[in-house]
Amino acid sequence: MQRQSTGPDPRVLGDMVGMESPFAERHILSGLLGAPAGSQWRWANQRAVLRFQVMEPEHLKFFVRFVIADSTFKTTGPVTMRFFLNDKLLGTMPCGTHGERLFEAPVPAGWIQPGEIVTTAVEVDKVWISSDNAKLGFLLVSAGFKD
């Protein structure tokens, strides 16, 4: 379902973002490394925190498209992802192999108010640590809210 605009958009932020977007930086609070312009993904540390503004919170799903990289999986083995909205645990996802994943879960009624800026977080239980001590957890492709 496409949302209809009734005038100027009062939002400061969108309700979803892809990492290739020129507006991705507006949504990122912490835990994501920089990437060249137009990159389809960004490396995340153990916990990536983003923010979104949701104008109509009823009947929404929160989604995260991410990748467990083969290069890190060789060291970490299976991992478990955890997904949070405003510090409330929305769900978990075990990842027993490397590859692209999609987490999607309905947002419980009352968790988000209309127009609220929502802080989201994605965590992985194990990270790969590089020789320069960088902690790499997963590749974030996109995240946000949809009908």
Range of the domain at 59: 16-33+40-146
Residues 6+ apart with CB under 8 A from 64: 83, 102, 103, 122, 140, 142, 143
Structural domain contains residue 7: no
Structural domain contains residue 130: yes
Task: Identify the pLDDT of residue 116.
Answer: 93
- Model-level pTM? 0.90
Structural domain contains residue 108: yes
Distance, CA of 63 to CA of 33 (rounded, Å): 20
Structural domain contains residue 11: no
Structural domain contains residue 91: yes
Q: Split the chain (147 residues) into runs of 10 and give each run's mean pLDDT.
A: 44 88 94 91 97 94 98 96 98 98 97 96 96 94 96
Distance, CA of 83 to CA of 73 (rounded, Å): 20
| Number of structural domains found in the chain | 1
CA angle 114–145–127, rounded 5-degree value: 125
Q: The domain that contains 110 carries what CATH number?
A: 2.60.120.260
